[in-house]
Amino acid sequence: MKQHFDIVVVGAGPAGLNAAQAAAREGATVALLDDNPRAGGQIWRQGPGRPPQAQLHALLDALYMRTNVTLFASTRVIAPLGSRGLLLESAEHGGVSISYDRLILATGARERLLPFAGWTLPGVTGAGALQALIKGAMPVRDERIVIAGSGPLLIAALATARAAGARVVAVVEQASAFEVARFGVSLLGEPAKLWQAVAMTRGFAGVRYWTGSIVRQASGDGRVERVMIQRGQRQLTLDCDRIACGYGFVPNITLAQALGCAINEAGEIVVDSEQRTSVDSVLAAGECTGVGGAELAGVEGEIAGLSASGAPANRTALHAQRARWRRFARRVEVAFALQAAARTPPDDATLLCRCEDVSLGEVRVFPDWREAKLHTRCGMGACQGRICGAAAGLYFGWEAAAPRPPFSPAQICTLMAASGEPPPSE
C-alpha cells in the first residue's frame, strides 16, 4: 500500500492536531499518524468511560469534517524511506509506505524514569504511566499510592489518582521548598494556570507534600509494599500499594535524528521562528522541540501547519502566544531542575537496564554508551535504550547512540513493503 500526501504529521497530541487542522484549512492533503488507538496524546488521552475533552473534541470534529485529512491510528513509524518517505506499520492496514512534500514532527516527549533500589517490583510505574493506566481503566480505588519525582506532572497524577478513588499518601518532590514556592507565586501572572493547579490539588487535603525529597528504595514481598524516602538527612518509610515516580520528560527525537535534524544540547529538535528544522521540508512542533505544556504545543503546531502549507497569513499573534508560553515553560524548567540528589546514581547493585538485567555497577566502568552496550547489552532490549539511555545520559553525561531503523519491532511483511515485494503466500 503506497500513498502520497502534501503534508504528513507524526503525532496526534496538541501539537500534531493543531498542525493538521491548520494545514488542512489551507487545502493541503494531510496524513495524521499516531501510535495510539485514539488521538489526544498523553495530556488528552481518552479511554473507557473517558470521552474527549472539550478542546480535543473540537479539534477532532474539525478534522473529521475534512475530506483532505486521513487519520492513521495505531500506526508506528518503522523507518524513513528515501528522501521524503516513511515506512509505517498500521494495526488496520499492516505495512504502509507513504511519501510527502513536507513532514511535521509532533512526536512529543516521554517520561524520564530514574532507577532506585526496587524499581523493578510490580507496582512501580512512572507518574505519567499511572495516569495512562488509570485512563485505560486500571482500577486503583482505595490503593495507597506514593507519587514522586519532579514537576507539575506529579500534581496532574495526584488529581487523576484521587478522581479514580485512590488514597494518595504522599507527593514527593525533589525540588526545594523555595523553588516550588517561587513557582507558585509566579502563577499569579497566569490566572488560568493558577486555577488549574488549585483545582487539581484541592489544597493538598489529606496529602503529605514533601519538597527536597527523593525516593531511595521500594520493597515488598513480590510487589511494592513500602517505600523509603530521603528527606535531607532523614530517611522515612511509608506503607503503600503503588509508587508512581517520574522526573520530568525527555523529548522524542528518534525520527528527527534519523532524518538528520539538528539537535541541541538539551536533546531538543532545533527549529526556527516558523518551526522549520535544519532539514529541508521537515518541521517540528510541541514537546519534541522543548517541553512546555499543551498550550505551547498547540500554538507551535498551528504555526508549523501554516508554514508547511505555505499560507501567507500574518502570524504575529501566534508568535506572541508562543513567546508567552515559552516564558512560562522556562519558569517550570528553572523551578523543577533536577538537583544533586536526583542526579546522583544509586548504588552499583541497582539495575539500570531492566530489559537486559544490567546493573549500574556493570556500566559505570565504560567511557561511553556505545562501549557499555557492546560489553553488557545495556539498551539492547525491548525499549531500545529509551529508559536506561536517558538515565545513563543524566548520570554519566553520555551521548545516546544515533537510532537505527527499524525503530520498533515490525512484521516481516511490513519490511517487505519497503522494497515493494509481495508478501509470501500462505
**Structural domains of the chain, with CATH:** 2-110+250-313 (3.50.50.60), 113-247 (3.50.50.60), 345-396 (no CATH)
**Residues 192 and 198 sit within 8 Å (Cβ to Cβ):** no
Strands 94-105 and 30-33: unpaired
The pLDDT assigned to 51 comes to: 65
Closest CA to 193 of 293, 269, 91, 59: 293
Looking at the chain, the whole-number percentage of residues with pLDDT higher than 70 is 95
pLDDT at 43 over 80: no
pLDDT tens digits along 402-422: 778 888 888 888 888 776 655
pLDDT tens digits along 245-283: 999 999 999 999 999 999 999 999 999 999 999 999 999
The pLDDT assigned to 125 comes to: 96
Q: In sequence order, which residues have a C-beta less than 8 Å from that of residue 321 and are 6 or more positions away?
A: 295, 299
Extract the C-alpha cell encoding 24: 488542512
pLDDT tens digits along 95-144: 899 999 999 999 999 999 999 999 999 999 999 999 999 988 899 999 99
The pLDDT assigned to 241 comes to: 97
> Element (H or E) spanning 154, and its range?
helix 153-163
**Cβ-defined contacts of 402-405 (< 8 Å, 24+):** 402/257, 402/258, 403/254, 403/257, 403/258, 404/258, 405/78, 405/79, 405/80, 405/87, 405/258
* pLDDT confidence tier of residue 42, bands split at 50, 70 and 90: confident
Question: Rounded to the nearest 10 degrees, how much is the dihedral formed by the CA atoms of 293, 296, 298, 303?
Answer: -150
